A = this chain, B = another copy of it.
Amino acid sequence: MAFQSSSLIPNPTRRKPILTVLEAALTAVDPAKAVRAVLRREGQHLIIGEHRYDLNRFRHVFVIGAGKAGAPMTQAVEAVVGEQITDGLVVVKTGHSAPTERVEVVEATHPVPNTAGVEAGQRILALAEEAGPDDLVIALLSGGGSALLVNPAPGLTLSDKQQMTSALLACGATIHEINCLRKHCSAVKGGQLARAVAPATLVTLVLSDVVGSPLDVIASGPTVPDQSTWQDAWAVVEKYALVKTLPAAIVARLRAGLAGELPDTPKADDAVFSTSHTLIVADNQVAAEAACRQAHDQGFNALLLTTYLEGEASEVAKVVAALAKQVRGHGQPVATPACLLLGGETTVTLGAHPGRGGRNQALALQTALLLQGMPGVTIVSLATDGSDGPTDSAGGMIDGATVQRGRELGLNAADYLRRHDAYPFLQATNDLLITGPTQTNVNDLIFIFVE
């Protein structure tokens, strides 16, 4: 991963070790490398994390999966398991396929699913059900998997589910409530794919794009236990008075579930999970720890503060600036040269007529305003997928002179920030980070470097 960074220009000497740290973070969560890091062969044994599988035991090995990083993850599995893979199907976002040998990779639309996604979902479910007690199923999940692995429950159509989602968004339901209903109207989400795989042995490899890596949320948790129940689902319907708003087939299904006529999503004590293991191969924590190690190697006093960061970008920026000031003023929490690291994902609440930018560019520009004039400080806000908001930039990399550089060009940083138009400002001051698509996504990383 090489940064074609406009940021190299203003201060190449200072920025070189910093770019090395960023590269280490992205390399650690490269989908193929991350899978290879947990997957290896010892003769006829397949070692996956802490687990050892004797391939001679299995009649078939199936590879299934969904998510934007599906193609390189599949390539990595093929490189290790090779011709012992019987069959497989992985669905990826349009434009994200790559050559594979034994596993079919199909493209579907994201975030709005299309019929290609539905067809792929049906074929993946069929493969899972085909797997028997002597078979091994390797499931590969990554960001976007929820929309890409779409499989409405019997009696429901894709249109029913889309109407349901629209109705839930319109009434202000929480993401937790929406997910509860989605799982109860799907044939695969909420552990139901694992139920289809059982009694075959199941190994799920996860590349997490959800802050905190909650397994039941990533790709809607098709292979892990679900905590939500038919009662929870119906409570959402009643809370927002949705009986007349939701499609009739959905209401009928939820009523039937509530009446005990349909099985609930499998819970933690369900036997289907007795032959199932899940491993996170890459997430924000993996990227952040790799960055910390590299920062240490580059001579920084490195400290990882959190990988659960959330909040409005402009306000989180104030905390980031406050941390930088403390290092500068008091050598706390670590002495200079310091590298503090926060991971997660912020949000930007856009007003009318927003300009160009993304949450990371907004955060970077806000910190540039708050730290203007401060020597020796560099703040990086990086979208690990290389695309921050609807832009071709991965984020921003600012210093105490960024605002002044803009001023000399006749640009007012506060005005650009207010208009949610950070991109052109940071472009003009050479403070944009450009990586191109990284083919992975483990949310964002924010670095505070103080010399």
Please report A residues at the B interface, Cβ cutoff 8 Å: 212, 285, 303-312, 315-316, 318-319, 321-323, 325-326, 329-330, 332-333, 342, 344
> Which partner residue on chain B sits nearest A303 by CB separation?
B333
Tell me the complex Cα distance, A342–B319, Å: 10
Interchain CA distance A342-B323 in the complex, whole Å = 9
- Residues in chain B near residue A332, CB distance under 8 A: 304-306
Residue of B nearest to A285 (CB): B330
Taking the closest CB of chain B, its distance from the CB of A65, in whole angstroms, is: 26
**In the complex, which residues of chain B have a beta carbon less than 8 angstroms from the beta carbon of A308?**
321-323, 325-326, 329
Copies in the complex: 2
Give, as a whole number of angstroms, the nearest-CB distance from A397 to chain B: 21
Whole-angstrom CA separation of A329 from B322 in the bound complex:
24
> Which chain B residues lie closer than 8 Å to A333 at the CB level?
303-305, 333
Cα A305 to Cα B305 in complex, Å, equals 9
The residue on B at minimum CB distance from A325 is: B308
Q: 7 pairs across A/B with beta carbons < 8 Å?
A: A304-B332, A305-B326, A306-B319, A306-B322, A308-B321, A311-B322, A316-B318
Asked whether, in the complex, the Cβ of B326 is within 8 Å of the Cβ of A307, the reply is: yes
Which residues on the B side are within 8 Å of A312 (C-beta)? 312, 315
- Which residues of chain B are within 8 angstroms of A316 by Cβ–Cβ distance? 311, 315, 318-319
Asked whether, in the complex, the Cβ of B330 is within 8 Å of the Cβ of A309, the reply is: no
Give Cα distance in the complex from A342 to B325, angstroms: 12
A interface, by DSSP: helix, strand, loop or mixed?
mixed
Question: B residues within 8 A CB of A322?
Answer: 306, 308-311, 342, 344
Interface residue from B315, B325, B330 paired with A315 (Cβ < 8 Å): B315
Contacts of A342 in B (CB 8 A): 322
Tell me the nearest residue of chain B to A332, going by C-beta. Answer: B304
Q: In the assembly, what is the distance between CA of A306 and CA of B312, in Å? A: 19
How distant is A370 from chain B, measured CB to nearest CB, in Å? 8
The verdict on A318 contacting B311 (CB below 8 Å), with A330-B285, A333-B304, A333-B305 known, is yes
A395 to chain B, nearest CB (A): 18
Residue of B nearest to A326 (CB): B306
- What separation, in Å, do the CA atoms of A277 and B323 have in the docked complex? 29
A303 to B304, CA, bound (A): 13
Residues of B within 8 A of A304 (CB): 326, 330, 332-333
The distance from the CB of A426 to the nearest CB of chain B, in whole angstroms, is: 22
Nearest chain B CB to A394's CB is how many angstroms away? 22
Q: How far is the CA of A226 from the CA of B308 in the complex (A)?
A: 42
Q: With A315-B315, A315-B316, A330-B285 as given contacts, are A323 and B310 in contact (CB-CB < 8 Å)?
A: no
Query: Whole-angstrom distance from the CB of A5 to the nearest CB of chain B?
Result: 27
In the assembled complex, how far is the CB of residue A281 from the closest CB belonging to chain B, in whole angstroms? Answer: 17
Q: Which of A285, A316, A322 has the most CB of B within 10 A?
A: A322
- Inside 8 A of A303's CB, which chain B residues have their CB? 333
Nearest CB in chain B to that of A292: its residue: B332
Q: Which B residue sits closest to A317, measured CB to CB?
A: B311
A-B contact sample (10 more), CB < 8 A, given A304-B330, A322-B342: A285-B330, A304-B332, A306-B322, A306-B332, A308-B322, A309-B318, A311-B315, A315-B315, A316-B318, A319-B319
Q: Bound state CA distance, A310 and B311, in angstroms?
A: 14
User: In the complex the two chains form, is A323's CB within 8 Å of B311's CB?
Assistant: no
Chain B, Cβ-Cβ closest to A312? B315
Decide if B212 touches A325 in the complex (CB within 8 Å): yes
Q: Would you call B309 and A319 a contact (CB within 8 A)? A: yes
Q: Enumerate chain B residues within 8 angstroms of A326, measured Cβ to Cβ.
A: 304-308
What separation, in Å, do the CA atoms of A31 and B172 have in the docked complex? 49
- For A323, list chain B residues within 8 Å (CB): 305-306, 308
CA distance A130 to B314 in the complex (A): 50
